[in-house]
Amino acid sequence: MLAFRGQMPALVPVVTGGLALVAGAGTMATSRLLRRRDALAPASLPRVATFDLGRGELRDAAGRTLAPLTSVAVGRRMQLGSSAPALVTRWPGGSLVLARGNPVALPDRAVRRLGPGRSSPAS
């Protein structure tokens, strides 16, 4: 059995400090990435679906009609492997994920940023 006399106490703070530096760097990088992503203009984000209020239809990214708006509900659904919910639309024939959440920024944050009555440019 090995016995560390006099050297073990000096090794523990070095290892602990190194782990703290790595964790801090990872946290800073994640924070920068999230801030950059949140600063994107809504029009620059990929379009997943369109709520066509004039025709009363939900359309996919290609413009195909998915369902009439009278049968569409928007809500949250839990994701496997994440503690944050996804923002989804549901209708009798299926569902579509609008945004996937993460523990730091919930998916409806982007929707709140658009605000009522605002939308990205029409396709």
- Does any domain span residue 86? yes
Same domain for 33 and 87, yes or no, is no
d(CA 48, CA 63): 10
**Global pTM exceeds 0.85:** no
Burial of 58 by CB count in 10 Å (0-12 exposed, 13-18 middle, 19+ buried)?
buried
Number of domains the chain is built from: 2
* Host domain of residue 79: 46-117
* Residue with more model confidence, 110 or 63: 63
Task: Mark whether 50 and 72 lie in a shared domain.
Answer: yes
Q: Are residues 53 and 86 in the same domain?
A: yes
Separation of alpha carbons 69 and 57, rounded Å? 5
Identify whether residues 13 and 51 lie together within a single domain. Answer: no
**pLDDT of 25 strictly over 80:** yes
Does 123 have pLDDT greater than 60?
A: no
92 shares a domain with 60: yes
Residue range 24-45: mean pLDDT, rounded: 80
Whole-angstrom distance, CA of residue 106 vs CA of residue 77:
12
Mean pLDDT calculated for residue range 27-40: 81
> Would you say residue 1 lies in a domain?
no
Q: How far apart are CA 13 and CA 58, in angstroms?
A: 58
Least confident of 11-15, 19-23, 54-58, 110-114: 110-114
